[in-house]
A and B are shown apart, each in its own frame.
Chain A
Amino acid sequence: MPENTDAAILDGVPPTTQDGTALPQDTRDKARSLWTDAWYDLRRNPVFYISSLVILFLVFISIWPGAIAHTDPLQCDLINSQNGPSGGHWFGFDQQGCDVYSRTVHGARNSVEVGLLSTVGVALLGSVLGGLAGYFGGWLDAILSRVSDIFFGIPILLGGVVFLSAFKGGSVSIVSTFIILLGWPQLARIARGAVITAKEQDYVLAAKALGAGHGRLLLRHIAPNALAPVIVWSTIALGTFISLEATLSFLGVGLKPPAVSWGIDISSASEQIRNAPHMLLFPAGALSITVLAFILLGDAVRDALDPKLR
């Protein structure tokens, strides 16, 4: 490797020797890999802790909303319509006289479910298709590229409106299916690029020269090294998918009542914003904090995995 130390110092990265290994500084330098290194960085990053805590809390209230919300989000009394926050009902009541606090807490589940389902789906479909296309190249790659071009031709929000309006009742599974359907090409591109970079690394060529088969090469040598960008993108995507679900529900094509969803609540609150702004504030705040937490987590993970951009 050409002299890299001077440049490395300029980047604020510890000097390395000619073969790129870290110089001995202290014991923690021993056998540092990308992952242990990233973990070391994450543990020192307060943003990582804060966003993780928020996400853990969200997951907790999605599983046991009753643990912190004792009233039924669907049991509403018009007598309370638009009443502001009060002692027993911190967030006040909405148009239908439902408890906003309870609805906000119960709304987490649908958002988290849509976010998780669609991210897992997109990550699986995208990384498998993109990874195979990147690894094998040729006609498989050509076909995949054209197909994803077609999907890229439709802005996701527009596609969502067209696709989901064809279904009468929106449910978590339908909304997630749609997001997977239109979301995978983006991840496929990222995975494809990562695999192409990884497969040209010397150690992969070496493993190939030693007679490793396709399966072993992909799973043992390429996948672990192509994983970083996929993880970073997926974490951030989880947040944006939650936001997308809320937007679709807001437009009336995503989840539909009686489902409890932040998007629906924001949509109905928006009509009464002049009289009762609190109805908008709480679900909107919950939604924004959730999306922010995932984006921050993704950002922290990226910083840890890609130190050169600091």
Chain B
Amino acid sequence: MTVIDDVSNVPAPDAALAPLLEVRDLHVEFHTRDGIAKAVNGVNYSVSAGETLAVLGESGSGKSVSAQAVMGILDMPPARIPKGEIFFQGRDMLKMSGEERRKIRGRKIAMIFQDALSSLNPVLSVGYQLGEMYRVHQGLSRKAAKAKSIELMDRVRIPAARERVNDYPHQFSGGMRQRIMIAMALALEPELIIADEPTTALDVTVQAQVMELLAELQREYNMGLILITHDLGVVADVADKIAVMYAGRIVEDAPVHDIYARPAHPYTKGLLQSIPRLDQKGQELYAIKGLPPNLTRIPAGCAFNPRCPMAQDICRTDVPPLHPVGTARGSACHFWKETLGD
């Protein structure tokens, strides 16, 4: 076996400590009219303090659903978690009471959502919505909470915070609204932030600013960050490691630079090839053929087999395990060596 991760430069988290968050064999399913949709089918990942994990995947890959399971905000029913463990600071959150989990939300784990306009309450001022964090979790008075909110808006560099604290979400621009979402997540200085497509709804120039701000604050507070995205471009600059999801499974899991240099799964490879590149001007852009599977009818064997250019008979019958590729990565492909090789 070749050693392939010799180039990896993961900032090694404190080895003495267990990871901040560890998800083990998580399964989530939804009971729908068309049957049981298996959204997450045995996912494992971990994040340590100060580390950024990017979870990458198309719509319906289960990346958002697994994050919502971690956050504890899935609607159950229709959702169900038949199997799995989610350890946060060494305790399995799935075994906690509802009240215990609520106290973790916002205080220890916070979430940033994709569409800030719909994710903020349209009829309450941003100051009220920010201040709510302090009033509920720390019992501050209305006035003290407002002062803290202004401070918070300054932190995420919203101009004229003092004047704008009583404004409503629709009065802010898209970028400013996403800053408010970030401020809200940051309010109680949580240990872990889950950002679900935080920049997808924004203009490209604003995207970079928001991402920078997020990365900077993460370093400052030494928080763990799970960045959920379908955009490979966003990931490269900020993530330490990447988990690529397909049909509810992690198909490849690696330090960020390894993946870009040498993908070990045909799906990852396809994703990378479908990014337009300046040096390939004039050539036809690669596209992965077919569509993601219907989650109520996931194909037997490797879920990716109907779309895979390398599929053999074994792919249609056997589910590939996550083969270790070197020390810090894994690929759920029967032919990971071949994929790496060519």
Contacts and interface: CB of A to CB of B under 8 A. Distances in A.
Interface stretch (B8-16, B56-64, B187-195, B331-339): B56-64
Interface in A1-19: 2-6, 9-10, 12, 14-15, 17-18
Nearest to B39: A9
Interface in A198-243: none
A25 B293 CA distance: 9
Given A3-B64, A3-B197, A14-B294, 20 more contacts: A2-B114, A2-B115, A2-B197, A2-B201, A3-B230, A4-B59, A5-B60, A6-B64, A6-B65, A9-B30, A9-B37, A9-B60, A10-B75, A14-B32, A15-B59, A15-B60, A15-B295, A18-B58, A23-B291, A25-B34
A66 interface: no
Interface string A90-121: 00000000000000000000000000000000
Given A25-B294, A25-B297, A6 B60 contact: yes
Contacts of A23: 291-292, 294
Contacts of B89: none
A9 B59 contact: no
A273 B64 CA distance: 64
B33 interface: yes
A24 B75 CA distance: 26
Contacts of B59: 3-6, 15, 17-18
Contacts of A24: 291, 294
A15 B39 CA distance: 11
A25 B291 CA distance: 11
A3 B64 CA distance: 9
Interface in A54-93: none
B227 to A, nearest CB: 14
A12 B34 CA distance: 8
Nearest to B65: A6
Nearest to A16: B59
Contacts of A12: 32-33, 78
Nearest to B114: A2
Interface extent on A, as a size class? 10 to 19
Prevailing SS type, chain B contact patch: loop
Interface in B156-203: 197, 200-201
14 contacts: A2-B114, A3-B230, A4-B59, A6-B64, A9-B60, A9-B78, A10-B30, A10-B75, A10-B78, A14-B32, A15-B295, A17-B59, A23-B291, A24-B294
A24 B79 CA distance: 23
Contact of A9 (B32, B58, B197): B32
Interface string A1-45: 011111001101011011000011100000000000000000000
Nearest to A25: B294
Interface in B215-234: 230
Interface of A: 2-6, 9-10, 12, 14-15, 17-18, 23-25
A91 B114 CA distance: 65
Interface in B102-122: 114-115
A20 B297 CA distance: 19
A15 B200 CA distance: 20
Nearest to B297: A25
A17 B292 contact: yes
Interface extent on B, as a size class? 20 to 34
A246 to B, nearest CB: 40
A173 B291 CA distance: 58
A255 B37 CA distance: 58
B261 to A, nearest CB: 27
Interface in B25-51: 30, 32-34, 37, 39
A177 to B, nearest CB: 43
Contacts of A18: 58-59
A125 to B, nearest CB: 35
Contacts of B115: 2
A187 B195 CA distance: 44
A59 B58 CA distance: 53
A9 to B, nearest CB: 5
Nearest to B34: A14
A2 B200 contact: yes
Contacts of B201: 2
A45 to B, nearest CB: 14
Contacts of B75: 10
B233 to A, nearest CB: 16
Contacts of B230: 3
Contacts of B295: 9, 15
A9 B60 CA distance: 9
A112 to B, nearest CB: 37
Interface string B57-85: 01110001100100000010011000000
Nearest to B30: A9
A96 B83 CA distance: 76
Contacts of B79: 10
B291 A17 contact: yes
A6 B65 CA distance: 7
The 7 closest A-B pairs by CB, nearest first: A5-B60, A5-B59, A6-B64, A3-B59, A9-B30, A12-B32, A23-B294
Nearest to B62: A6
A267 B294 CA distance: 60
Nearest to A1: B59
Contacts of A17: 59, 291-292
B298 to A, nearest CB: 12
Interface in B269-300: 291-292, 294-295, 297
Nearest to B196: A3
Contacts of A6: 39, 59-60, 64-65, 68
A29 B154 CA distance: 51
B342 to A, nearest CB: 29
